[in-house]
């Protein structure tokens, strides 16, 4: 048992199951299986076998069957990226996002992003939604508009002072069009850059490319906002140096101008007025430096910040993490008042703007975009990271099962027959407890490793 001290608080059913597991003959193997999934909270169970034979002689070289595993099953990770569904797999995804954003900031020569991109002008920009009515907040040292000094974790934060006058329809229509606002922003940004460089758009594009890595985040009030790394590259992307005119000042100035120009028109429908959707006035742009001198934010801080939000979907606002069929379901699910009103606004507006699919995205408070996206040349891709990890896991699995490496020369002379079937998912209460402990151990160890990174960067700076 990894940590007997934490067993004290277990409920009797879980404790019994933990004791049963610990006493079972396959206990070590179950623990090993759960460790391989990274402590996944809802693993997929597989049943089946593989047999590898020498193609010429028919001799069995390796064989594996789940028949020898505890319960006759092999557990594999579920891979869900939502923290509310599976903390372990979501954490893996956050780690991937972290490496992706970081690779776009400090480079990753092994995966094709050169270290020289650290010299490219780049900023961390936050584009927000406008106001849809006053909400409870903590404005510095002053009390909230309601007269109260709210504690940091009070559920009222971000909820409207007056739900009767709050523009719920405007709020969800804005979320619903947020990706369009972003798209126009990138178009205008390229125009504003060319204008400032005194070039045509075509000429500007031929001299310098613009890269983005962005994540969407929900504010407490349920409005989406975007955090983005925006970077100048040279004519051929990250490998080439940007021209002299592509300065940090020009980039910042162009972002301000582009954000101010964006407007998406929503036509009137039913009882809804015509709306002109725009960004909020809170536009934050911070230059990114290697070590965070003065006004700069560090590369490390940006990557950590972005990764933290990559798995947080809309659940932080109190909504639910799956599609909602009806208003009645909201009551049964116990959704708090503010997110419930936002979801209801989506369901009410759906017939007025059918092509906006507001019903399908009601649980996302109208937002229908992706949580983390990047332009093609920003850095390595999530797919590439997943592949690397999958290859690593598969190799580990093969080693554990005594299977040959498919890249091995001998492969051509062998024949592998495999048969796998889905055999359910999830954990017993005891396995669940075990998985949570294993996940904590893994995360603790990796976080220590992650914290050592800034020291490493400082060292590079001192020597280089
Ligand atoms: Zn999982
Ligand atoms: Zn208040």
pLDDT tens digits, residue range 62-95? 777 888 888 888 887 877 777 777 888 877 777 7
Residue 242 pLDDT = 94
* pTM of structure: 0.70
Report CA(34)–ligand 1 centroid distance (Å): 10
pLDDT band at 276 (very low <50, low <70, confident <90, very high): very high
User: Positive or negative CA dihedral for 420, 424, 428, 433?
Assistant: positive
pLDDT at 308: 67
Mean pLDDT is lowest, of 132-136, 234-238, 386-390, for: 386-390
Q: Which residue has the higher pLDDT, 117 or 17?
A: 17
Q: How far is the CA of 145 from the centre of ligand 2 (A)?
A: 6
Give the pLDDT score at 207: 95
Ligand found nearest the CA of 88: 1
Which ligand gives the minimal distance to the CA of 139? Answer: 2
Ligand 1 centroid – CA 73 distance (Å): 17
Q: Which whole number is the average pLDDT over 324-350?
A: 84
Nearest ligand, CA 86? 1
Picking from 31-35, 40-44, 125-129, 442-446, which range would have the lowest pLDDT averaged per residue?
A: 442-446
From ligand 1's centre to the CA of 155, what distance in Å? 29
More confident residue, 453 or 241: 241
Distance 28 CA to ligand 1 centre (A): 20
Confidence of residue 129 (pLDDT cuts 50, 70, 90): very high
Residue range 359-382: average pLDDT? Answer: 74
Distance (angstroms) between ligand 2 centre and the Cα of 132 equals: 16
- Please give the distance, rounded to the nearest whole angstrom, from the Cα atom of residue 72 to the centre of ligand 2: 57
Residue 321 — very low, low, confident or very high, per pLDDT cuts 50/70/90? Answer: low
What's the CA-to-centroid distance between 388 and ligand 1, angstroms?
A: 18
- CB within 5 A of ion ligand 1: which residues? 40, 77-78, 86, 89
Judged against a pLDDT cut of 60, whether residue 323 lies above it is answered with yes
Tell me, in angstroms, the distance from the centre of ligand 1 to residue 421's CA: 19
Could you tell me the distance, in angstroms and rounded to a whole number, from the CA of residue 80 to the centre of ligand 1? 6
Q: Pick the ligand that lies closest to the CA of residue 155.
A: 2
Task: Give the chain's mean pLDDT.
Answer: 80
Q: How far is the CA of 129 from the centre of ligand 2 (A)?
A: 20
Distance in Å, CA 135 to ligand 2 centroid: 7
User: Any idea which of 36-45, 280-289, 368-377 has the lowest mean pLDDT?
Assistant: 368-377
Q: For 234-243, 255-264, 292-301, 410-419, which range has the lowest pLDDT when averaged over its residues? A: 410-419
CA of 459 to the centre of ligand 2 (A): 46
- Does residue 401 have a pLDDT over 70? no
Q: How far is the CA of 148 from the centre of ligand 2 (A)?
A: 6
Residue 456 Cα to ligand 2 middle (Å): 44
Give me ligand 2 centre to Cα 285, in Å.
28
For residue 41, report the distance from its CA to the centre of ligand 1, in Å: 5
Is the pLDDT reported for residue 172 higher than 80? yes
The neighbourhood of ligand 2, an ion, using CB within 5 A, equals 136, 144, 146, 148
């Amino acid at each position: 048992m990894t940590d007997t001290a934490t067993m004290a608080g277990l409920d009797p059913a879980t404790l019994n199951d933990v004791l049963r597991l610990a006493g079972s003959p396959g206990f070590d193997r179950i623990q090993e299986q759960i460790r391989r999934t990274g402590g996944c909270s809802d693993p997929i169970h597989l049943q089946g076998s593989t047999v590898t034979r020498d193609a010429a002689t028919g001799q069995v070289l390796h064989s594996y069957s789940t028949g020898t595993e505890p319960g006759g099953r092999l557990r594999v990770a579920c891979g869900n990226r939502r923290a509310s569904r599976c903390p372990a797999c979501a954490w893996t995804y956050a780690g991937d996002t972290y490496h992706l954003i970081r690779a776009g900031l400090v480079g990753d020569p092994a995966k094709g992003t050169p270290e020289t991109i650290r010299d490219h002008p780049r900023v961390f920009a936050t584009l927000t939604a406008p106001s849809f009515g006053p909400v409870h907040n903590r404005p510095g040292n002053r009390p909230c508009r309601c007269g109260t000094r709210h504690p940091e974790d009070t559920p009222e934060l971000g909820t409207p002072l007056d739900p009767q006058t709050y523009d719920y329809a405007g709020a969800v229509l804005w979320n619903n069009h947020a990706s369009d606002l972003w798209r126009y922003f990138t178009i205008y940004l390229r125009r504003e850059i060319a204008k400032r460089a005194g070039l045509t758009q075509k000429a500007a594009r031929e001299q310098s490319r613009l890269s983005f890595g962005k994540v969407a985040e929900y504010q407490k009030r349920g409005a989406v906002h975007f955090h983005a790394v925006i970077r100048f590259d040279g004519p051929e992307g990250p490998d080439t140096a940007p021209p002299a005119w592509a300065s940090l000042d020009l980039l910042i100035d162009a972002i301000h101008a582009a954000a101010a120009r964006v407007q998406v028109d929503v036509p009137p429908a039913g009882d809804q007025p015509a709306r002109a959707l725009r960004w909020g006035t809170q536009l934050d742009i911070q230059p990114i430096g290697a070590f965070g001198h003065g006004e700069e934010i560090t590369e490390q801080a940006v990557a950590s910040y972005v990764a933290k939000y990559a798995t947080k979907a809309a659940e932080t606002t109190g909504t639910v993490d799956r599609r909602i069929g009806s208003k009645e379901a909201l009551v049964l699910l116990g959704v708090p008042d503010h997110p419930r009103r936002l979801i209801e606004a989506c369901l009410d507006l759906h017939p007025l703007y059918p092509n906006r699919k507001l019903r399908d995205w009601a649980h996302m408070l109208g937002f229908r975009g992706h949580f983390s996206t990047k332009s093609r040349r920003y850095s390595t891709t999530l797919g590439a990271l997943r592949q690397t990890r999958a290859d690593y896991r598969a190799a580990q699995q093969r080693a554990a099962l005594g299977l040959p490496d498919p890249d091995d020369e001998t492969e051509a002379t062998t024949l592998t027959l495999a048969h796998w079937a889905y055999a359910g998912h999830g954990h017993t209460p005891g396995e669940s407890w075990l998985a949570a402990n294993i996940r904590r151990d893994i995360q603790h160890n990796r976080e220590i490793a992650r914290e050592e990174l800034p020291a490493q960067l400082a060292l590079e700076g001192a020597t280089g």
